[in-house]
Structure 1
Protein backbone atom coordinates (compact mmCIF):
# COMPACT_ATOMS: atom_id res chain seq x y z
CA UNK A 1 0.00 0.00 0.00
CA UNK A 2 1.19 3.51 -0.79
CA UNK A 3 -1.09 6.00 1.02
CA UNK A 4 1.30 8.90 0.35
CA UNK A 5 3.15 9.82 -2.82
CA UNK A 6 5.23 12.28 -0.83
CA UNK A 7 5.93 12.34 2.89
CA UNK A 8 8.52 14.84 4.04
CA UNK A 9 8.19 16.19 7.56
CA UNK A 10 4.79 17.88 7.81
CA UNK A 11 4.36 17.80 4.03
CA UNK A 12 2.02 15.00 3.02
CA UNK A 13 0.79 14.30 -0.51
CA UNK A 14 -1.92 11.62 -0.28
CA UNK A 15 -2.10 9.19 -3.17
CA UNK A 16 -5.90 9.13 -3.02
CA UNK A 17 -6.09 12.91 -3.45
CA UNK A 18 -3.73 12.86 -6.43
CA UNK A 19 -5.62 10.03 -8.14
CA UNK A 20 -8.95 11.72 -7.46
CA UNK A 21 -7.69 14.95 -9.03
CA UNK A 22 -6.32 13.07 -12.04
CA UNK A 23 -9.60 11.22 -12.40
CA UNK A 24 -11.62 14.42 -12.37
CA UNK A 25 -9.42 16.04 -15.01
CA UNK A 26 -9.50 12.88 -17.15
CA UNK A 27 -13.29 12.75 -16.87
CA UNK A 28 -13.68 16.40 -17.87
CA UNK A 29 -11.37 15.82 -20.83
CA UNK A 30 -13.33 12.73 -21.87
CA UNK A 31 -16.56 14.74 -21.70
CA UNK A 32 -15.29 16.85 -24.59
CA UNK A 33 -15.39 13.72 -26.75
CA UNK A 34 -18.68 12.38 -25.43
CA UNK A 35 -20.32 15.78 -25.95
CA UNK A 36 -19.61 15.52 -29.67
CA UNK A 37 -21.06 11.99 -29.76
CA UNK A 38 -24.44 13.19 -28.47
CA UNK A 39 -24.45 16.47 -30.38
CA UNK A 40 -23.83 18.82 -27.45
CA UNK A 41 -21.52 21.81 -27.36
CA UNK A 42 -18.29 20.58 -25.74
CA UNK A 43 -17.67 23.84 -23.87
CA UNK A 44 -21.18 23.79 -22.43
CA UNK A 45 -20.77 20.23 -21.19
CA UNK A 46 -17.33 21.01 -19.77
CA UNK A 47 -18.77 23.98 -17.87
CA UNK A 48 -21.67 21.88 -16.59
CA UNK A 49 -19.31 19.18 -15.38
CA UNK A 50 -17.07 21.71 -13.70
CA UNK A 51 -20.11 23.31 -12.03
CA UNK A 52 -21.20 19.92 -10.68
CA UNK A 53 -17.75 19.14 -9.26
CA UNK A 54 -17.40 22.56 -7.65
CA UNK A 55 -20.93 22.33 -6.26
CA UNK A 56 -20.20 18.94 -4.71
CA UNK A 57 -17.04 20.30 -3.11
CA UNK A 58 -18.58 23.55 -1.85
CA UNK A 59 -21.86 22.07 -0.60
CA UNK A 60 -20.13 19.19 1.19
CA UNK A 61 -17.82 21.63 2.97
CA UNK A 62 -20.72 23.92 3.92
CA UNK A 63 -22.61 20.96 5.40
CA UNK A 64 -19.48 19.81 7.22
CA UNK A 65 -18.97 23.24 8.77
CA UNK A 66 -22.67 23.64 9.65
CA UNK A 67 -22.78 20.31 11.48
CA UNK A 68 -19.39 20.76 13.18
CA UNK A 69 -19.25 24.50 13.79
CA UNK A 70 -17.53 24.23 17.18
CA UNK A 71 -14.77 21.98 15.80
CA UNK A 72 -14.40 24.22 12.75
CA UNK A 73 -13.84 27.30 14.90
CA UNK A 74 -11.21 25.41 16.90
CA UNK A 75 -9.47 23.55 14.06
CA UNK A 76 -10.61 25.04 10.71
CA UNK A 77 -7.83 23.66 8.49
CA UNK A 78 -7.93 20.19 10.04
CA UNK A 79 -11.70 19.91 9.67
CA UNK A 80 -11.67 20.99 6.03
CA UNK A 81 -9.26 18.18 5.18
CA UNK A 82 -11.78 15.57 6.37
CA UNK A 83 -13.68 13.71 3.57
CA UNK A 84 -17.18 15.15 3.72
CA UNK A 85 -19.28 14.01 0.75
CA UNK A 86 -22.49 12.65 2.29
CA UNK A 87 -25.83 11.53 0.92
CA UNK A 88 -27.27 14.95 1.77
CA UNK A 89 -24.42 16.66 -0.07
CA UNK A 90 -24.97 14.43 -3.10
CA UNK A 91 -28.70 15.23 -3.11
CA UNK A 92 -28.06 18.99 -2.91
CA UNK A 93 -25.46 18.70 -5.68
CA UNK A 94 -27.98 16.84 -7.85
CA UNK A 95 -30.60 19.55 -7.33
CA UNK A 96 -28.08 22.31 -8.07
CA UNK A 97 -26.97 20.51 -11.23
CA UNK A 98 -30.54 20.05 -12.46
CA UNK A 99 -31.17 23.76 -11.92
CA UNK A 100 -27.98 24.61 -13.82
CA UNK A 101 -28.93 22.39 -16.75
CA UNK A 102 -32.35 24.00 -16.91
CA UNK A 103 -30.92 27.52 -16.87
CA UNK A 104 -28.41 26.61 -19.59
CA UNK A 105 -31.05 24.78 -21.66
CA UNK A 106 -29.02 21.57 -21.77
CA UNK A 107 -31.16 18.48 -22.55
CA UNK A 108 -31.19 16.23 -19.51
CA UNK A 109 -30.90 12.78 -21.10
CA UNK A 110 -28.31 13.80 -23.68
CA UNK A 111 -26.23 15.38 -20.91
CA UNK A 112 -26.52 12.31 -18.68
CA UNK A 113 -25.60 10.05 -21.58
CA UNK A 114 -22.50 12.14 -22.28
CA UNK A 115 -21.56 12.11 -18.60
CA UNK A 116 -21.89 8.34 -18.18
CA UNK A 117 -18.43 7.26 -19.47
CA UNK A 118 -16.65 10.11 -17.60
CA UNK A 119 -18.49 9.16 -14.39
CA UNK A 120 -17.38 5.55 -14.75
CA UNK A 121 -13.83 6.76 -15.36
CA UNK A 122 -13.93 8.77 -12.11
CA UNK A 123 -15.10 5.61 -10.33
CA UNK A 124 -12.04 3.78 -11.66
CA UNK A 125 -9.63 6.44 -10.38
CA UNK A 126 -11.32 6.68 -6.98
CA UNK A 127 -11.19 2.89 -6.63
CA UNK A 128 -7.47 3.00 -7.40
CA UNK A 129 -7.14 5.64 -4.72
CA UNK A 130 -8.84 3.39 -2.17
CA UNK A 131 -6.59 0.53 -3.25
CA UNK A 132 -3.46 2.65 -2.81
CA UNK A 133 -4.38 3.71 0.72
CA UNK A 134 -5.58 0.27 1.77
CA UNK A 135 -9.19 1.25 2.40
CA UNK A 136 -12.37 -0.47 1.17
CA UNK A 137 -11.28 -3.66 2.91
CA UNK A 138 -12.49 -7.00 1.64
CA UNK A 139 -13.41 -10.23 3.36
CA UNK A 140 -10.74 -12.84 4.16
CA UNK A 141 -9.79 -15.10 1.26
CA UNK A 142 -7.45 -17.98 0.50
CA UNK A 143 -6.93 -16.82 -3.09
CA UNK A 144 -3.34 -16.14 -4.09
CA UNK A 145 -4.04 -12.55 -5.15
CA UNK A 146 -5.49 -11.64 -1.77
CA UNK A 147 -3.90 -8.61 -0.11
CA UNK A 148 -2.22 -8.45 3.28
CA UNK A 149 -2.74 -5.10 5.00
CA UNK A 150 -0.19 -4.65 7.83
CA UNK A 151 -0.05 -5.51 10.65
CA UNK A 152 -2.46 -8.33 9.81
CA UNK A 153 -1.21 -11.39 7.92
CA UNK A 154 -4.69 -12.40 6.75
CA UNK A 155 -5.29 -12.24 3.00
CA UNK A 156 -8.24 -10.05 2.03
CA UNK A 157 -10.15 -9.63 -1.20
CA UNK A 158 -8.77 -6.64 -3.14
CA UNK A 159 -12.24 -5.12 -3.53
CA UNK A 160 -10.92 -1.69 -4.52
CA UNK A 161 -8.80 -3.23 -7.26
CA UNK A 162 -11.76 -5.29 -8.47
CA UNK A 163 -13.82 -2.10 -8.64
CA UNK A 164 -11.10 -0.21 -10.54
CA UNK A 165 -10.87 -2.94 -13.19
CA UNK A 166 -14.64 -3.22 -13.50
CA UNK A 167 -15.05 0.57 -13.80
CA UNK A 168 -12.35 0.80 -16.49
CA UNK A 169 -14.03 -1.93 -18.55
CA UNK A 170 -17.43 -0.31 -18.04
CA UNK A 171 -16.05 3.02 -19.29
CA UNK A 172 -14.98 1.40 -22.56
CA UNK A 173 -18.35 -0.36 -22.96
CA UNK A 174 -20.26 2.86 -22.33
CA UNK A 175 -18.17 4.71 -24.89
CA UNK A 176 -18.94 2.04 -27.45
CA UNK A 177 -22.65 2.09 -26.63
CA UNK A 178 -22.76 5.88 -26.78
CA UNK A 179 -21.54 5.79 -30.38
CA UNK A 180 -24.46 3.53 -31.35
CA UNK A 181 -27.25 4.75 -29.08
CA UNK A 182 -30.67 4.87 -30.69
CA UNK A 183 -32.36 7.36 -28.38
CA UNK A 184 -31.47 9.67 -25.47
CA UNK A 185 -31.25 7.96 -22.11
CA UNK A 186 -29.97 4.59 -23.31
CA UNK A 187 -26.38 5.12 -22.20
CA UNK A 188 -27.16 6.47 -18.74
CA UNK A 189 -29.68 3.65 -18.21
CA UNK A 190 -27.00 1.11 -19.10
CA UNK A 191 -24.51 2.88 -16.84
CA UNK A 192 -26.88 2.92 -13.85
CA UNK A 193 -28.00 -0.68 -14.31
CA UNK A 194 -24.46 -1.98 -14.81
CA UNK A 195 -22.83 0.05 -12.03
CA UNK A 196 -25.69 -0.73 -9.64
CA UNK A 197 -25.50 -4.46 -10.32
CA UNK A 198 -21.71 -4.55 -10.07
CA UNK A 199 -21.63 -2.54 -6.86
CA UNK A 200 -24.29 -4.82 -5.37
CA UNK A 201 -22.19 -7.89 -6.22
CA UNK A 202 -19.01 -6.29 -4.87
CA UNK A 203 -20.63 -5.98 -1.44
CA UNK A 204 -20.43 -9.75 -1.11
CA UNK A 205 -16.63 -9.41 -1.09
CA UNK A 206 -16.54 -6.36 1.21
CA UNK A 207 -16.53 -6.31 4.96
CA UNK A 208 -20.06 -5.59 6.29
CA UNK A 209 -21.13 -2.03 6.97
CA UNK A 210 -20.28 -1.38 10.65
CA UNK A 211 -23.34 0.69 11.60
CA UNK A 212 -26.46 -1.43 11.87
CA UNK A 213 -28.69 0.58 14.24
CA UNK A 214 -31.30 1.09 11.52
CA UNK A 215 -33.60 -1.75 10.53
CA UNK A 216 -32.96 -0.84 6.90
CA UNK A 217 -29.24 -1.50 7.37
CA UNK A 218 -29.92 -4.88 8.95
CA UNK A 219 -31.87 -5.94 5.86
CA UNK A 220 -29.33 -4.78 3.30
CA UNK A 221 -26.02 -2.94 3.29
CA UNK A 222 -26.39 0.82 2.53
CA UNK A 223 -24.43 0.37 -0.71
CA UNK A 224 -26.85 -2.38 -1.71
CA UNK A 225 -29.80 -0.03 -1.16
CA UNK A 226 -28.11 2.61 -3.32
CA UNK A 227 -27.34 -0.01 -5.97
CA UNK A 228 -30.97 -1.13 -6.07
CA UNK A 229 -32.02 2.51 -6.40
CA UNK A 230 -29.69 2.91 -9.39
CA UNK A 231 -31.21 -0.14 -11.04
CA UNK A 232 -34.75 1.14 -10.44
CA UNK A 233 -33.88 4.51 -12.00
CA UNK A 234 -32.39 2.69 -14.99
CA UNK A 235 -35.60 0.72 -15.46
CA UNK A 236 -37.66 3.92 -15.25
CA UNK A 237 -35.47 5.56 -17.91
CA UNK A 238 -36.00 2.60 -20.21
CA UNK A 239 -39.77 2.39 -19.68
CA UNK A 240 -40.60 6.10 -19.46
CA UNK A 241 -41.08 7.79 -22.85
CA UNK A 242 -37.92 9.70 -23.63
CA UNK A 243 -39.70 12.88 -24.70
CA UNK A 244 -41.30 13.33 -21.30
CA UNK A 245 -37.98 13.18 -19.50
CA UNK A 246 -36.17 15.21 -22.14
CA UNK A 247 -38.58 18.12 -21.78
CA UNK A 248 -38.46 17.96 -17.98
CA UNK A 249 -35.35 20.12 -18.11
Structure 2
Protein backbone atom coordinates (compact mmCIF):
# COMPACT_ATOMS: atom_id res chain seq x y z
CA UNK A 1 0.00 0.00 0.00
CA UNK A 2 1.29 3.44 -0.98
CA UNK A 3 0.79 5.91 1.88
CA UNK A 4 -0.41 9.35 0.74
CA UNK A 5 2.18 12.11 0.65
CA UNK A 6 1.22 15.59 1.80
CA UNK A 7 1.37 17.70 -1.40
CA UNK A 8 2.50 20.72 0.65
CA UNK A 9 6.11 20.66 1.86
CA UNK A 10 5.70 23.66 4.14
CA UNK A 11 3.59 26.80 4.46
CA UNK A 12 4.64 30.32 5.35
CA UNK A 13 1.64 32.57 5.78
CA UNK A 14 -0.34 32.62 2.51
CA UNK A 15 2.54 30.98 0.62
CA UNK A 16 3.05 27.24 0.29
CA UNK A 17 5.83 25.18 -1.27
CA UNK A 18 4.26 22.18 -3.00
CA UNK A 19 5.91 19.00 -4.18
CA UNK A 20 4.23 19.40 -7.57
CA UNK A 21 5.80 22.79 -8.15
CA UNK A 22 9.19 21.73 -6.80
CA UNK A 23 9.30 18.71 -9.09
CA UNK A 24 8.30 20.83 -12.07
CA UNK A 25 11.01 23.40 -11.35
CA UNK A 26 13.59 20.63 -10.87
CA UNK A 27 12.58 18.96 -14.13
CA UNK A 28 12.78 22.23 -16.07
CA UNK A 29 16.18 23.15 -14.60
CA UNK A 30 17.72 19.73 -15.29
CA UNK A 31 16.44 19.71 -18.87
CA UNK A 32 17.53 23.31 -19.48
CA UNK A 33 21.03 22.58 -18.16
CA UNK A 34 21.44 19.60 -20.50
CA UNK A 35 20.00 21.53 -23.45
CA UNK A 36 22.20 24.59 -22.90
CA UNK A 37 25.35 22.47 -22.67
CA UNK A 38 24.46 20.69 -25.91
CA UNK A 39 24.03 24.03 -27.68
CA UNK A 40 27.29 25.28 -26.22
CA UNK A 41 29.15 22.24 -27.57
CA UNK A 42 27.69 23.05 -30.98
CA UNK A 43 29.09 26.56 -30.89
CA UNK A 44 25.88 28.35 -29.87
CA UNK A 45 25.58 30.97 -27.13
CA UNK A 46 24.07 29.18 -24.14
CA UNK A 47 22.98 32.51 -22.62
CA UNK A 48 20.54 33.01 -25.48
CA UNK A 49 18.96 29.69 -24.63
CA UNK A 50 18.42 30.70 -20.99
CA UNK A 51 16.96 34.02 -22.20
CA UNK A 52 14.57 32.06 -24.39
CA UNK A 53 13.20 29.89 -21.58
CA UNK A 54 10.81 32.40 -20.06
CA UNK A 55 9.38 33.28 -23.48
CA UNK A 56 8.62 29.61 -24.18
CA UNK A 57 7.73 28.31 -20.71
CA UNK A 58 5.00 30.87 -19.99
CA UNK A 59 3.03 30.17 -23.21
CA UNK A 60 3.75 26.45 -22.72
CA UNK A 61 2.19 26.43 -19.24
CA UNK A 62 -0.75 28.50 -20.47
CA UNK A 63 -1.38 26.06 -23.30
CA UNK A 64 -0.99 23.06 -21.00
CA UNK A 65 -3.50 24.47 -18.55
CA UNK A 66 -6.04 25.51 -21.17
CA UNK A 67 -5.90 22.08 -22.80
CA UNK A 68 -6.58 20.46 -19.44
CA UNK A 69 -9.42 22.79 -18.51
CA UNK A 70 -11.29 22.67 -21.82
CA UNK A 71 -10.42 19.18 -23.11
CA UNK A 72 -9.38 16.99 -20.17
CA UNK A 73 -11.45 18.27 -17.26
CA UNK A 74 -14.90 17.07 -18.41
CA UNK A 75 -14.06 13.68 -16.93
CA UNK A 76 -12.82 15.08 -13.61
CA UNK A 77 -14.73 16.04 -10.49
CA UNK A 78 -14.44 19.74 -11.40
CA UNK A 79 -15.36 19.77 -15.07
CA UNK A 80 -15.55 22.75 -17.40
CA UNK A 81 -18.56 24.15 -15.53
CA UNK A 82 -16.52 24.40 -12.35
CA UNK A 83 -13.79 26.43 -14.06
CA UNK A 84 -16.24 28.66 -15.92
CA UNK A 85 -17.95 29.44 -12.61
CA UNK A 86 -14.57 30.00 -10.92
CA UNK A 87 -12.31 31.46 -13.66
CA UNK A 88 -9.50 32.29 -11.24
CA UNK A 89 -9.13 28.55 -10.59
CA UNK A 90 -7.88 28.19 -14.16
CA UNK A 91 -4.69 29.97 -13.09
CA UNK A 92 -4.00 27.66 -10.13
CA UNK A 93 -1.77 25.11 -11.87
CA UNK A 94 0.18 24.35 -8.69
CA UNK A 95 -2.53 21.93 -7.62
CA UNK A 96 -2.12 19.86 -10.79
CA UNK A 97 -4.09 19.83 -13.99
CA UNK A 98 -1.90 20.50 -17.03
CA UNK A 99 -1.59 18.59 -20.29
CA UNK A 100 1.62 18.12 -22.27
CA UNK A 101 -0.03 18.39 -25.70
CA UNK A 102 -1.24 21.90 -24.91
CA UNK A 103 2.32 22.78 -23.89
CA UNK A 104 3.61 21.37 -27.18
CA UNK A 105 1.25 23.54 -29.22
CA UNK A 106 1.67 26.86 -27.40
CA UNK A 107 5.33 26.34 -26.45
CA UNK A 108 6.23 25.22 -29.97
CA UNK A 109 4.66 28.30 -31.51
CA UNK A 110 6.45 30.53 -29.00
CA UNK A 111 9.80 28.83 -29.73
CA UNK A 112 9.31 29.24 -33.48
CA UNK A 113 8.48 32.93 -33.06
CA UNK A 114 11.37 33.58 -30.66
CA UNK A 115 14.01 31.92 -32.83
CA UNK A 116 12.67 33.71 -35.89
CA UNK A 117 12.79 37.14 -34.25
CA UNK A 118 16.24 36.55 -32.71
CA UNK A 119 17.52 34.76 -35.82
CA UNK A 120 18.51 31.61 -33.98
CA UNK A 121 18.78 28.08 -35.49
CA UNK A 122 15.35 26.61 -34.78
CA UNK A 123 16.28 22.99 -35.55
CA UNK A 124 19.30 23.07 -33.24
CA UNK A 125 17.14 24.46 -30.46
CA UNK A 126 14.49 21.83 -31.06
CA UNK A 127 17.08 19.05 -30.81
CA UNK A 128 18.58 20.55 -27.66
CA UNK A 129 15.14 20.64 -26.04
CA UNK A 130 14.02 17.25 -27.34
CA UNK A 131 17.02 15.39 -25.90
CA UNK A 132 16.39 16.06 -22.18
CA UNK A 133 12.63 16.57 -22.46
CA UNK A 134 11.81 12.89 -21.69
CA UNK A 135 13.97 13.11 -18.57
CA UNK A 136 12.10 16.23 -17.46
CA UNK A 137 8.79 14.46 -18.03
CA UNK A 138 9.99 11.41 -16.09
CA UNK A 139 10.77 13.65 -13.12
CA UNK A 140 7.63 15.77 -13.36
CA UNK A 141 5.29 12.76 -13.50
CA UNK A 142 6.01 12.03 -9.84
CA UNK A 143 4.04 15.15 -9.02
CA UNK A 144 1.01 13.21 -10.25
CA UNK A 145 1.79 10.50 -7.71
CA UNK A 146 1.86 13.00 -4.86
CA UNK A 147 -1.37 14.66 -6.04
CA UNK A 148 -2.96 11.21 -6.49
CA UNK A 149 -3.84 11.78 -10.14
CA UNK A 150 -3.10 10.16 -13.50
CA UNK A 151 -4.19 6.65 -12.60
CA UNK A 152 -6.02 3.98 -14.55
CA UNK A 153 -8.74 1.44 -13.84
CA UNK A 154 -8.61 -1.02 -10.91
CA UNK A 155 -5.93 -3.70 -11.04
CA UNK A 156 -4.75 -6.70 -9.01
CA UNK A 157 -1.14 -6.19 -10.08
CA UNK A 158 1.33 -5.94 -7.17
CA UNK A 159 2.32 -2.40 -8.13
CA UNK A 160 -1.27 -1.15 -8.05
CA UNK A 161 -1.73 2.34 -6.63
CA UNK A 162 -3.96 3.17 -3.67
CA UNK A 163 -6.07 6.30 -4.24
CA UNK A 164 -7.91 8.11 -1.46
CA UNK A 165 -11.68 8.28 -2.16
CA UNK A 166 -11.57 12.09 -2.23
CA UNK A 167 -9.17 11.97 -5.21
CA UNK A 168 -11.14 9.42 -7.21
CA UNK A 169 -13.25 10.24 -10.23
CA UNK A 170 -16.43 8.86 -11.74
CA UNK A 171 -17.75 5.53 -10.49
CA UNK A 172 -14.62 4.85 -8.42
CA UNK A 173 -15.97 7.14 -5.70
CA UNK A 174 -18.54 4.46 -4.92
CA UNK A 175 -16.89 2.75 -1.94
CA UNK A 176 -19.45 -0.06 -1.98
CA UNK A 177 -18.26 -1.14 -5.43
CA UNK A 178 -14.67 0.08 -5.05
CA UNK A 179 -13.62 -0.06 -1.38
CA UNK A 180 -10.69 1.86 0.04
CA UNK A 181 -8.46 -1.18 -0.52
CA UNK A 182 -8.96 -1.00 -4.32
CA UNK A 183 -5.73 -0.53 -6.29
CA UNK A 184 -5.43 1.32 -9.61
CA UNK A 185 -3.00 1.26 -12.52
CA UNK A 186 -0.24 3.82 -11.78
CA UNK A 187 -0.23 5.49 -15.18
CA UNK A 188 2.15 8.17 -13.92
CA UNK A 189 4.70 5.41 -13.27
CA UNK A 190 4.22 3.80 -16.68
CA UNK A 191 4.78 7.11 -18.41
CA UNK A 192 7.69 8.07 -16.17
CA UNK A 193 9.51 4.81 -16.95
CA UNK A 194 8.75 5.14 -20.68
CA UNK A 195 10.14 8.68 -20.68
CA UNK A 196 13.23 7.68 -18.73
CA UNK A 197 13.92 4.93 -21.25
CA UNK A 198 13.31 7.44 -24.04
CA UNK A 199 15.96 9.78 -22.64
CA UNK A 200 18.47 6.91 -22.53
CA UNK A 201 17.62 5.93 -26.11
CA UNK A 202 17.86 9.48 -27.47
CA UNK A 203 21.10 10.13 -25.61
CA UNK A 204 22.59 6.90 -26.97
CA UNK A 205 21.50 7.64 -30.54
CA UNK A 206 22.78 11.22 -30.36
CA UNK A 207 26.23 9.95 -29.42
CA UNK A 208 26.37 6.79 -31.54
CA UNK A 209 25.21 8.52 -34.74
CA UNK A 210 26.44 12.05 -34.09
CA UNK A 211 27.94 12.38 -37.57
CA UNK A 212 24.94 10.95 -39.42
CA UNK A 213 22.21 12.89 -37.63
CA UNK A 214 20.94 16.12 -39.14
CA UNK A 215 19.66 19.09 -37.21
CA UNK A 216 16.08 18.33 -36.27
CA UNK A 217 16.45 14.54 -36.23
CA UNK A 218 16.39 14.26 -32.44
CA UNK A 219 13.21 16.31 -32.34
CA UNK A 220 11.63 13.94 -34.84
CA UNK A 221 12.79 10.92 -32.82
CA UNK A 222 11.23 12.39 -29.69
CA UNK A 223 8.10 13.06 -31.72
CA UNK A 224 7.96 9.32 -32.41
CA UNK A 225 9.02 7.93 -29.04
CA UNK A 226 6.88 9.85 -26.59
CA UNK A 227 3.59 9.78 -28.54
CA UNK A 228 4.06 6.07 -29.26
CA UNK A 229 4.07 5.25 -25.55
CA UNK A 230 1.36 7.78 -24.80
CA UNK A 231 -0.89 6.25 -27.48
CA UNK A 232 -1.04 2.93 -25.62
CA UNK A 233 -1.15 4.42 -22.12
CA UNK A 234 -4.22 6.46 -23.13
CA UNK A 235 -6.28 3.27 -23.39
CA UNK A 236 -6.03 3.04 -19.59
CA UNK A 237 -6.96 6.65 -18.88
CA UNK A 238 -10.03 7.17 -16.70
CA UNK A 239 -10.11 10.97 -16.87
CA UNK A 240 -10.23 11.56 -20.63
CA UNK A 241 -13.14 12.26 -22.95
CA UNK A 242 -13.40 9.48 -25.53
CA UNK A 243 -15.11 9.62 -28.89
CA UNK A 244 -18.58 8.10 -28.37
CA UNK A 245 -18.63 4.35 -28.89
CA UNK A 246 -14.86 4.08 -29.27
CA UNK A 247 -11.82 3.49 -27.02
CA UNK A 248 -10.07 6.45 -28.66
CA UNK A 249 -9.69 10.07 -27.61
CA UNK A 250 -8.09 13.21 -29.01
CA UNK A 251 -4.66 12.25 -27.63
CA UNK A 252 -4.81 9.05 -29.70
CA UNK A 253 -5.35 11.15 -32.81
CA UNK A 254 -2.58 13.63 -31.99
CA UNK A 255 -0.18 10.83 -31.02
CA UNK A 256 -0.83 8.90 -34.23
CA UNK A 257 -0.26 12.03 -36.32
CA UNK A 258 3.01 12.73 -34.47
CA UNK A 259 4.34 9.17 -34.82
CA UNK A 260 3.47 8.88 -38.51
CA UNK A 261 4.71 12.39 -39.25
CA UNK A 262 7.97 11.85 -37.36
CA UNK A 263 8.65 8.53 -39.07
CA UNK A 264 7.95 9.95 -42.52
CA UNK A 265 10.11 12.96 -41.74
CA UNK A 266 13.09 10.82 -40.74
CA UNK A 267 12.65 8.59 -43.79
CA UNK A 268 12.44 11.55 -46.15
CA UNK A 269 15.51 13.24 -44.66
CA UNK A 270 17.67 10.11 -44.78
CA UNK A 271 16.37 8.30 -47.85
CA UNK A 272 19.08 7.10 -50.21
CA UNK A 273 19.44 9.17 -53.37
CA UNK A 274 18.46 7.42 -56.55
CA UNK A 275 21.25 5.99 -58.63
CA UNK A 276 21.80 7.84 -61.90
CA UNK A 277 20.33 6.18 -64.98
CA UNK A 278 22.75 4.46 -67.34
Shorter-normalised TM range: 0.7 to 0.9
Q: How many Å apart are 1:94 and its aligned residue?
A: 2.4
Residue 142 in structure 1 maps to residue 173 in structure 2: no
RMSD: 3.2
After superposition, the C-alpha distances for 1:86-125 in whole angstroms (9 at most, x for unaligned) are: 7667534322221111122222222211111222122112
After superposition, the C-alpha distances for 1:51-87 in whole angstroms (9 at most, x for unaligned) are: 21133246778999xxx79845xxx5x5531467576
Q: Which residue of 1 aligns with 2:92?
A: 81
TM-score of the two chains, using structure 1 as the length reference: 0.78
Give 1:217-236 correspondences, 5 Å limit: 218=246, 220-236=248-264
Give 1:40-189 correspondences, 5 Å limit: 40-57=44-61, 71-72=86-87, 76=88, 78-82=89-93, 90-151=104-165, 152-179=180-207, 180-181=209-210, 182=212, 183-189=214-220
CA distance in 2, matches of 1:230, 1:145: 30
Q: Name structure 1 gaps, 5 residues minimum.
A: 243-249
Residue 191 in structure 1 maps to residue 218 in structure 2: no
Q: How many residues were matched structurally?
A: 233
For the residue of structure 2 that corresponds to 1:106, the secondary structure is coil
Alpha carbons of structure 1 residues 130 and 34: separation in structure 2 relative to 1, 3 Å: same
Alpha carbons of structure 1 residues 186 and 38: separation in structure 2 relative to 1, 3 Å: farther
Q: Which residue of 1 aligns with 2:33?
A: 29
Alpha carbons of structure 1 residues 3 and 166: separation in structure 2 relative to 1, 3 Å: farther
Q: Which residue of 1 aligns with 2:169?
A: none
For the residue of structure 1 that corresponds to 2:224, the secondary structure is helix
Contact 2:60/2:105 (8 A) holds in 1: no
Contact 1:131/1:160 (8 A) holds in 2: yes
CA distance in 1, matches of 2:90, 2:117: 34
